[in-house]
Structures are given as structure tokens and as C-alpha cells.
Structure 1
Amino acid sequence: MSYFFHILYSNVIPLCTMILIGAVLRRAFDLDIKTLSKLNFYIFSPALVFKMLYESIISGSVLMQVLLYFFVSMALLVVVIEITMRIRRYKAGMRSAMRNSVIFYNSANYAIPLNQLVFVGDAFTMSIQIIIMMMQSLLPNTYGIYSVNAHKGSLRSTLRTIFSMPTIYAIPLAFLLRGFAIPIPQPIYISLDYVTDAFIATALITLGVQLGGMKWKIKFPDVLISNFLRLLIGPIIGFLVVLMLGIDGLMAKALILSSAVPTSLNSVLLAVEFDNEPEFASQAILASTIFSIFTVTMVIYLLQFIE
């Protein structure tokens, strides 16, 4: 029960508070959500990814194991999603929105503090979560952009959009500078701190602005299907993959926990930026964040039985 209240108090209530502020601002000032989404995609998100990777200490063996887990679990999750969408007979736009709401999960501002809580600030489990965060930052800026644009434009224009995303350059640059121990000048690093500190607030306010401008025609049962796949099927697949790959101990627990978190803000940012089912995406992330109070608590409880 203490986990339940800690997650509620430390994660869900602060997230919902910022979302509420965004909704109020939308009603009061009619904010331009396209501008907010561009700030997130082109400034705040790549800065956060770069800074966390630059400061992290990740061994090659851990990197390879986590990447193998990530790709196998993601492939299995995509299979489940595709089967579900065929049964539901979704159109192209809704297919990409549903897929994004499940495979993109909140690996940064939800999963990182959660990892610190559950594993008491363990450096090893945090390095695992940072690798997951890296991949969850790269996917929306590559595959995510492709999925929401493939049915609307040419491959050439979609690729041009993907290669305009700063995040895909921030990741190799961070590894390069860290690998060669190249220091970042102090004035630039201070500016980087300012930008990364603003990421979470700006992303959550963007979600609130989107929610505040909606007509609120609730998209049931699609939102519940998305939440079920993200919050329940996600960690179940994570558990099966660690068994399949023979991963155990702290690494297994950290990987399973990383797969149990709610839908990422990136799914909303993609939906808003490229006008692809923004109402569904916003409702899916809000609902999954609330339901995660119960599902994440359950996953944390079950982790004690993994050796």
C-alpha cells in the first residue's frame, strides 16, 4: 500500500497538476499547440537525451543485453498490437496512433524516478533505464514519424522529416563526446541544464493544452484497449522475454519494471505535430497514467518473486 501512495504522491499527482495547468492556460489564452510541440521535438527532448547519455556510465555488455531485450520485447509487442488492430479493423491513421500509444512508453520522467524509488538509487539499474530511455527517444523520432506520415505522404518527404529531427544526432554525439572524454564548455553546459530542466514541464503543459482544447468525445473502447496493451500486456511480455533470454537478478527486475510504465508524451507530441488522432492519443496517455497507479504497484509487488 505504501508503494501505491508513493506512486500517487510522487508521480501521478505532479504529472496531473502540470497537465491541469496546461488545460487552464489553453482555455485562458488559446495557446498555439503546434509551437509547443515544436519546442519539445526540436529543443527540449534532444537536449534531455543528450545530457543523460553524456553523463551516464554504461558498460558495453550491459548495453548489448538491454538492446537485445528491447528489440525482442518490442517485436513481440508489435505482433500483439497488429493482431488487435486487425480484429478491430482500424483505418491507417488510427493504426499508427494505436501502435504509438502502446510501443512508446514514459521511460524518462516517470520510469527514471520510479527506478530510483524501487531500487533505492542503484547505479546499475539506472544505467539500464537510461539505455531504455535512449531507445524510447530514438524510436518516436524515426519509426514514429514514419508511421504517422506513411499513409499521408511520399517516402522521400517522410525521410526528410525524420532526418530533420535533432534527437537522432544527439544520441551519437553524446556517445562520441563521452567516449573521447571531450568536455562541454561551462557556458554551454549551463544552458543545457536550463533546457533539460524545462523538458518535463513543457511536455506536460503541451498535453494539458491539447486536452483543454478537445471536445472530449471519449474514444472508448480504443483508449481502454491501448491501456490494456501498454500496462498489462507490456510487462507480461517483458517477463517472458527475460525468461527467454536467461536474464535474472536486478537486470531482469529493472527491465520488467521499465516495460510497465504508462504511455509516453511522445505519442501525443507526434499526434499533435502531424495531426494524427490527437484526441485519442491525449486520452490514452491521461488514462494510462491514472491506471498505472494500480498496475505499476502490482508489478512492483510481483518483482519480489523474481530471483
Structure 2
Amino acid sequence: MSSYLSILTQVIFPIILLIGVGVILHRRFQLDMNTLSKLIMYFFLPAMTFIAIYEASISLSLLKEVVIFLLLQLAVLHFLGKAVSKLLGLGEKSAASFNNSIILSNNGNIGIPVNDLAFRHDPLAMSVQMVVVLFEVVLAFTYGLFNASTASIGLKTSLITFVKLPIVYALVSGMLLHMFQVPLPSFVLIPLHTVANSMLAVALVSIGAQVARLGISRYSRMVLSSSLLRLVAAPLCAYVLLRLLNMNGVIAQALLICSALPTSRNSAALALEYGNEPEFAAQAVLASTLLSSLTLTFVIDLSTRLF
């Protein structure tokens, strides 16, 4: 019970509170969603991506083992999402947003504190978590970006748009500076940290503003399907893959928990930027976050029993 309450009070409730602030602000002031989208995509996300990769501390052997699992999981969820999209009869834009809501999970601001609570500051478990976080960052702005932009503006235009995005250069420069261990002066790192740390609040407020624009009943079938796939089907698939790969112990436990996290706010940011059912994407983030308060503790407990 104490673990359950800790996850609720320290992880889920603060997120819901910030989304609620976004709902209130939008209803009071009618926030400009286009401006919010541009701030997130061109300012906050590049800074967060750069800091996450530049300051990562991960061993090569752990990186290889975890990435193999994550790539297999991506393939399974991709085909699962495509199949369910067809069953639901979704159009191209709706399917793109639906698939991103299944594949992109919130392993950053939810996954890290959940890992810390579940494994009581275990460095191996946190190393696994950071590999997943980095993978999610890359995934969001490769697979997720192309998925969102291709449905909206076509493959050729999306490729041109992709190379113009600052997040691409933040990703590459972060990796290069990390690989060659290039130190950055404090007058560069301090503002980068300030912007990166603000990303969560701005993103969640923007999700709240999106939710405030439209009632959930219009997307209830899509939202429910997305949440079930993200919170139930994904960890089931992860369990099968972990068994097939013969992974056990803390690494397997951490990966199973990572697979059960709710939809990433980045899926909503991408949907908003490219006009792929942004209201659904925001509602998918909110619904899966709320429902994860019921499912996460169960998966955490199950991970210790299974592995």
C-alpha cells in the first residue's frame, strides 16, 4: 500500500495537477496552441534532448543488451498498432497519432521516479532506465516524427522538415560531445538545464489546454484502445520478449516496468505540431496517466515475482 501511495502522490498526482492547470488557463485565457507547439518543438525539446544525451552515463554492454530488447519491442508494437488501427477504421492522420500514443511512453518524468521508488536507488536499475529514456528520446524524433509528419505533409516534405528541426542537431551534438567527453562551460550548461527542467511543466500545461478544447466522448473508443494497448498489451509483449531473450534479474524487472508506463507527452506535442488529431493525443496522455495509477503498482509487484 505504501508503494502504491508513493507512486500516486509523488508521480501521478503532480502530473495530473499540471494538466489541470493547463485546462484552467486555457478556459480562462484561450492559450495560443500554435505558439505553445512551436516553443515545445523548437526550444524546450532540443534543450532537454541535448542534456539527456550529453550527461548520460551508460556502459556499452548494458546499452547493447537493452537496445536489442527495445528494438524488438518497437517492431511488435508497430505491427500491433497498425493492426488495431485498421480494425478501428482509422484514417491516416488518426492512425499516425494512435500509433505514436502506443509506441511512445513516458519513461522520463514518470519512469525515472517510478524506477527510483521501485528499486530503492539501485544503480543498475537506474542505468537501465536511462538507456530506455535515451532510446525514447531518439525514437520520438525519428520514428515518432516521421510517423506524425508523413501522415500530415508527405514523406518528401517531412524529410526536408526533419533536417531543419533543431532537435536533430541537439541529438547529434549531444552524442558527439558525450562520446568525446567535451566539457561545456557553466554559462552554457546553466541555461540549458533551466530550459530542460522547464520542459515538463510547459508540455503538461499544453496537454491540459488541448484537453480543454474538446470533450473526451468524441475519441472514447480510440482513447480506451490506446490505453489498453499501452498499459496492458505492451507489458505482456515485453514479458514474452524478455523470456525469449533469456533476460532475468534487475534488468528484466526494470524493462518490464518501463513497458507499462503511460503515453509520452511527446506524442501529444507531435500531434499538435502536425495536426494529427491533437485532441485525441492529449486525451490519450491524460487517460493512460490516470489509468497507470491502477496498473503500475501491479506490474511492479509482478516484475519481482516473474524475474
What range is the shorter-chain TM-score in?
over 0.9
Q: 1:303 to 1:154 in 2, by over 3 A?
A: closer
For 1:131 and 1:46, the matched residues in 2 are separated by 18
Q: Corresponding residue for 1:247?
A: 247
Partners of 1:123 and 1:56 lie apart in 2 by: 13
Q: Describe the superposition over 1:41-68 as per-residue Cα deviations: whole angstroms up to 9, x where unpaired.
A: 2222221222122222111111111110
One-letter identity of the residue aligned with 1:226: S
Q: CA deviation at 1:161?
A: 1.4
Q: 1:266 is matched with which residue?
A: 266
- Cross-structure match for 2:208: 208
Q: For residue 173 of structure 1, what is the amino acid of its counterpart? A: S
Distance 1:119 1:186, change over 3 A: same
Return 5+ residue gaps in structure 1 as ranges.
none
Would the aligned equivalents of 2:152 and 2:274 in 1 still touch at CA under 8 Å? no
Unaligned runs of 5+ in 2: none
User: Offset at 1:216?
Assistant: 4.4
C-alpha distance in structure 2 between counterparts of 1:92 and 1:155, whole Å: 13
What letter is aligned with 1:48? M
Structure-2 residue corresponding to 1:235? 235
Alignment of 1:158-177 (within 5 A): 158-177=158-177
Quote the Cα distance in structure 2 between the aligned partners of 1:167 and 1:239.
32
Q: Deviations over 1:13-71 (max 9, x none)?
A: 10011111111111121111111122112222221222122222111111111110001
Report what 2:39 is aligned to: 39
**Equivalent residues of 1:74, 1:103 under 8 A apart:** yes
Query: How far apart are residue 121 of structure 1 and its match?
Result: 1.7
Question: Superposed, which structure 2 residues align to 1:1-307 within 5 Å?
Answer: 1-307=1-307
Query: Contact (CA 8 Å) 1:93, 1:276: kept in 2 or not?
Result: yes
Query: Equivalent pairs: percent with the same residue?
Result: 35
Following TM superposition, by how much is the alpha carbon of 1:142 offset from its aligned partner in structure 2, in angstroms? Answer: 2.1
Q: Which runs of 4+ in 1 moved over 3 A?
A: 215-218
Q: Structure 1 stretch 220-229 or stretch 84-93: which is displaced more?
A: 84-93
Over the residues paired in the alignment, what is the CA RMSD in angstroms?
1.5
Q: Distance in 2 between matches of 1:192 and 1:77?
A: 33
Q: Is residue 137–residue 167 contact of structure 1 (8 Å, CA) maintained in 2?
A: no
In 2, Cα distance between equivalents of 1:217 and 1:291:
17
Please state whether the residue corresponding to 2:108 is helix, strand or coil.
coil
TM-score by length of 2: 0.95
The answer (yes or no) to whether the contact 1:138–1:168 under 8 Å persists in 2 is: no
Following the alignment from structure 2 to structure 1, what is the Cα–Cα distance between the partners of residues 144 and 159?
Answer: 12
CA 1:219–1:129 in structure 2 vs 1: closer, same or farther (change >3 Å)? same
In the alignment, the residues of structure 1 paired with residue 28 and residue 281 of structure 2 have an alpha-carbon distance, to the nearest angstrom, of 23
- Counterpart-to-counterpart distance in 1, 2:240 and 2:132: 17
Aligned partner of 1:297: which letter? T
Label 1:165 to 1:122 Cα distance change in 2 as closer, same or farther (>3 A): farther
Partners in 1 of 2:252 and 2:163 — Cα distance? Answer: 34
